[in-house]
Amino acid sequence: MKRTGFKKITSAFLLAAACCMPASLVGQATSKGEMPQYLFPSFTKCNVLMKTGTVNTAVMNYNTVTEKMVFVNNEKYYDMTNPEAADTIYLNDRKFVPVGKAFYEVVVNEPVALYIQHKGSLMSAGKTVGYGGTSQTASATYISNIELSGLQYNLTLPSDYIVNPAPVYWIRINATWHDFINEKQFLAIFPDKSSEIKNFIRQNRIKIDRPGDLKRLVEHCSAL
């Protein structure tokens, strides 16, 4: 992501600066407007386990539009540009691990592991239509390279932009990853157990888009 307006500083220095930041700055960092691009409503002090074995602390949140961990330094927002150096980030009692340049939330560990790729699309809020309503489908433009500077992703969004959540769920069995967003795709991951899993879904009224239900379902699959 381009960070126009920021002085170029090494990511290691920025992370070290964030680790020294007092938790009292969290409220200040989120009190200047709506920031719906973030997974959590506020920035929180968290533990960052590095692959070297060291543990740092930082005030962080997750940007679902850019899929980057963001930390605060001097009330400004910076991307963590070296995610591969982290092993696990423990944020709001939840675990996040680097996958490529993004971070996935770990919901269930092996043997059948469940991850959530938290994603969001930045889109225009829609134009006014008749009777005082708005239409997103008629006028919304999904943005991959917003004309605003990349910095705007980590600041208050303009009022004419909204974030449309679009999480992707992942199952990892050994070294194989399977993505899914609905029940049919989930059942296709387990062709030999699909009937039994389908009965469990029906009997327990499992909804794939509910993380709690999905966790129960994957734990059941792990026990099969």
The model's pLDDT over 165-206, given as tens digits with 9 standing for 90+, comes to 999 999 999 989 999 999 999 999 999 999 999 999 999 999
Domain check: are 86 and 191 in the same one?
A: no
Element (H, E) at 127: strand 127-128
CA distance 38 to 62: 5
Domain total of the chain: 2
> What pLDDT digit, counting tens, does each position of 17-67 carry?
344 333 333 332 333 456 788 999 999 999 999 999 999 999 999 999 889
Domain check: are 39 and 125 in the same one?
A: yes
Whether residue 181 lies inside any domain: the answer is yes
Domain check: are 61 and 126 in the same one?
A: yes
Walk across the sheet containing 86-91 and list its strands. 76-79, 68-73, 55-63, 44-50, 86-91, 94-99, 102-108, 112-117, 168-173, 176-180
pLDDT of 95 reads 97
CA distance 90 to 140: 35
pLDDT of 161 reads 77
Cβ-contact 157, 36 below 8 angstroms: yes
Domain check: are 45 and 8 in the same one?
A: yes
Rounded to 5°, the CA angle 215-178-213 comes to 15
Lowest mean pLDDT, pick from 9-18, 81-90, 104-113, 211-220: 9-18
Whether residue 68 lies inside any domain: the answer is yes
- In 36-123, alpha helices (H): none
Domain check: are 53 and 153 in the same one?
A: yes
pLDDT of 205 reads 96
Whether residue 171 lies inside any domain: the answer is no
Whether residue 109 lies inside any domain: the answer is no
Domain check: are 157 and 181 in the same one?
A: no
Whether residue 57 lies inside any domain: the answer is yes
Domain check: are 1 and 55 in the same one?
A: yes
Q: 3-state class of 33 per DSSP?
A: coil
CA distance 116 to 96: 9
pLDDT of 153 reads 59
Domain check: are 194 and 150 in the same one?
A: no
Whether residue 71 lies inside any domain: the answer is yes
Looking at the chain, the number of H-run helices and the number of E-run strands are 6, 15
Domain check: are 94 and 184 in the same one?
A: no
Domain check: are 20 and 65 in the same one?
A: yes
Whether residue 105 lies inside any domain: the answer is no
CA distance 156 to 224: 46
Domain check: are 155 and 195 in the same one?
A: no
Q: 3-state class of 2 per DSSP?
A: coil
> What pLDDT digit, counting tens, does each position of 125-164 carry?
664 444 545 444 433 333 333 333 344 457 677 777 788 8
| Structural domain boundaries enclosing 141 | 1-100+120-165
